[in-house]
Amino acid sequence: MPKRQCQEALDKLFEYIDGELTDEELLRIGAHLRDCPPCEAEHRINERIRLLVSQAHGDKAPHQLRERVLSTIQMAREESR
Ligand SMILES: [Zn+2]
Per-residue pLDDT band for 71 (boundaries 50, 70, 90) equals confident
Ligand 1 mean position, distance from CA 37 (Å): 7
What's the confidence (pLDDT) of residue 8?
93
pLDDT above 90 (res 27): yes
Does residue 23 register a pLDDT over 90? yes
pTM beyond cutoff 0.85: no
Separation of CA 11 and ligand 1 centre (Å): 11
Confidence of residue 13 (pLDDT cuts 50, 70, 90): very high
Residue 72 CA, ligand 1 centroid: distance in Å: 21
Question: Which amino acid does the sequence have at 44?
Answer: R
Q: 12 is in which domain, residue-wise?
A: 3-79
Could you give the number of structural domains in the chain? 1
Query: What is the pLDDT, as a whole number, of residue 57?
Result: 64
- C-alpha 31 – ligand 1 centre gap (Å): 10
